[in-house]
Amino acid sequence: MKKIRLFAFCAFAFFSCAALCSALPKGYGSIELGMSVDEVKSELKKNTDFGYRGDRDVSLSPKTKQVLIETDASKNAYSFFTRCWFQFVDDKLFSITLNLNEKKIDHASIFTSLSKKYGNPSSISPKRSAWQDDSIIMSLERPLTLKYIDNAKFQKMLDEGNVQKTIEEKSKDEFLESL
């Protein structure tokens, strides 16, 4: 009898969360994974929170022909962002990286909000919490970065061995080379 009650409770908890938890977002606000460069640029122009300054924020990697939009919102007193990166693969938005302003918002508040809305993370460690489904990986990383990644494209790149270094890894390499 106790096993039946335990099973019923677990089933109820699972289905309650499934009913109450939202599907993972495809991006932040009006900017969604899979959009074209021009669509993202248009949306960035409409939202001053990102600090987008136009085409000077857009770069093209000569080796991979991949587009990267890097914005600086640190001068916007009302923005919760400091810097943002929008990475394109095959001319479609593949990842969104949002560095958040630690003076305005804290990790615990964001983690709590995401957990309430999307349920418990799929994986958690001291440095990273991630929510994941077949389409999206959304992660909250320390000190305070929110990322959205096209999971289907990411898995395909892993299978093909085409995964590039992260922006942080590239920045570190470039810094070390400049010494």
Q: What is the pLDDT of residue 125?
A: 95
Whether residue 78 has pLDDT greater than 80? yes
Domain of residue 132: give its range: 24-178
119 lies in a domain? yes
Per residue in 115-148, pLDDT (tens digit) is: 999 999 999 999 999 999 999 999 999 999 999 9
- Count of the separate structural domains present in the chain: 1
Give CA–CA dist 92/98, Å, rounded: 18
Which H helix or E strand runs over 21? none
pTM, 2 dp: 0.78
12 lies in a domain? no
9 lies in a domain? no
**What band does 164 get if pLDDT is binned at 50, 70 and 90?**
low
Torsion 171-42-153-25 (CA) sign: positive
Per-residue CA distances from 86 to 12, 29, 156 (Å):
39, 13, 19
- For residues 99 and 55, which has the higher predicted lDDT (pLDDT)? 99
Q: What is the pLDDT of residue 157?
A: 79
172 lies in a domain? yes
8 lies in a domain? no
Closest CA to 151 of 128, 133, 129: 133
Whether residue 161 has pLDDT greater than 90? no
Q: How many CB atoms sit inside 10 A of residue 163's CB?
A: 10
131 lies in a domain? yes
Q: What is the pLDDT of residue 17?
A: 46
16 lies in a domain? no
